Amino acid sequence: MKGISAVVVRLITASSTFSFVLGALYLRQEQVIGRGFFDAFNFEAIPDPTHGRVNYVDETTARRLNLVSATENTFILRADSTTVLNDSAALGRNSVRIRSNKAYSTHVAVFDIAHMPQGCGTWPAVWETDEATWPNGGEVDILEGVNDQGTNQVTLHTAPGCTMPATRKQTGTSLLLDCDTNANFNAGCGVRVSQASSYGPTFNRNGGGWYAIERTNKFISAWFWPRNARDVPLDVQLGGLIVETSFWGTPVANFPNIDCDLREFFDANNIIINLTFCGDFAGNPSIYAASGCPSTCNSYVDANPAEFVDAYFKFNSINVYT
């Protein structure tokens, strides 16, 4: 512990040197670990806004069905992997959607994730939004993908009037540039992360990693570091009292305040973690077919519960800094 303390002191000293110039020194306001997830988040037993083949359950039901569990150091959120769904009128497979009790505007959030849901038909997401005013309050998708297909995608969704430049300082690849939810079937302005280890089975085989978001009034940026990568910043690994984002290198995704006034398009947002199935994205016939998954999405999810044994999130921690 003495060695770690010395490192933190040096980091604070270095951060203080640069923070007046870069404004990138943040202090931890909340740390969520293990059983603390039950205090920091509420369970949303609501109809899926993305029309998924899913039934979000409340906390009591989730605990009873073992869809959530926690130890001192980890928190697991999963979908049902035992029930064959025979009633086409049913909402869908039991799963969980949680929303943070606190909302954040300018901030940094670091997510230490050891495992994410995988499988055909799955649509896992870690994101931030103001549900009450969506899309006027904005949405940032930090971790999102479908059907074990490709790599992670970081995306903004907004009210009309927010666009992104085609070229900006990031390691990911820009996709569509109009963030308006009314444009391009609400595809948003996304960035595809380059690392194969950023999503799905490859992410899980590598032991997961860290996702981080920095939201300011000048930009929104996201980073990803695979587990055991040599370039994981020390402050990210420690999950300590401070972080200095100017030491983190080029982000995987960067959304600058050039043709999008971030103060106008983004409110204080809650963190949402959820696992749905099929729906508007994973269940899109062309997307589902391109993934190489069998049958149709809804019928596959209904008939093959055992295929979702690995459809779970395992969080080591979430740290929020302001």
Percent above pLDDT 70 for the chain: 93
Mean of the pLDDT values across residues 79-97? 92
User: Predicted confidence band at 4 (pLDDT cuts at 50, 70, 90)?
Assistant: very low
Q: Are 121 and 266 in contact (CB under 8 A)?
A: no
Instruction: Give 310's DSSP letter.
Output: T
Q: How large is the average pLDDT for residues 217-222? A: 98
Kindly tell me if the per-residue pLDDT of 271 is higher than 80. Answer: yes
The pLDDT value given to residue 18:
35
- This prediction has a pTM of 0.92
Query: What mean pLDDT, rounded, does the chain reach?
Result: 93
pLDDT beyond 50 at 13 = no
Q: Which of 128, 144, 214, 244 is catalytic?
A: 144
Residue 239: CB partners within 8 Å, gap ≥ 6?
A: 31, 110, 112, 317, 319
Clarify whether 139 is annotated catalytic: yes
Share of the chain above pLDDT 90, in %: 91
Helices (H), ranges, 110-229: 200-205
pLDDT of residue 168 exceeding 70, the answer is yes
**Mean pLDDT value of segment 177-201:** 97
**pLDDT of 23 above 50:** no
Q: Which residues of 131-170 are buried (b: 16+ CB within 10 A; e: fewer)?
A: eeebbebbbbbbbbbbbbbbbbbbbbbbbeebbbeeebeb
Residue 157: which of 199, 126, 190 has the closest Cα? 190
Q: Which two tokens stand for residue 141?
A: 């998708």
Question: Which of the 8 DSSP states describes residue 93?
Answer: E
Q: Which fold has domain 2-321?
A: Jelly Rolls (2.60.120)
Cβ-based neighbours of 30, under 8 Å, separated by 6 or more: 40, 102, 318, 319, 320
pLDDT-based confidence at 88, cuts 50/70/90? confident
Domain spans of the chain, in order of start:
2-321
Q: How far apart are CA 167 and CA 275, in angstroms?
A: 32
pLDDT of residue 125 exceeding 50? yes
Our CA dihedral for 145, 147, 148, 150, rounded to 10 degrees, sits at -60
Per annotation, catalytic residue among 128, 139, 214, 244? 139
Please say if 144 is a catalytic residue: yes
Q: What is the mean pLDDT of residues 243-266?
A: 97
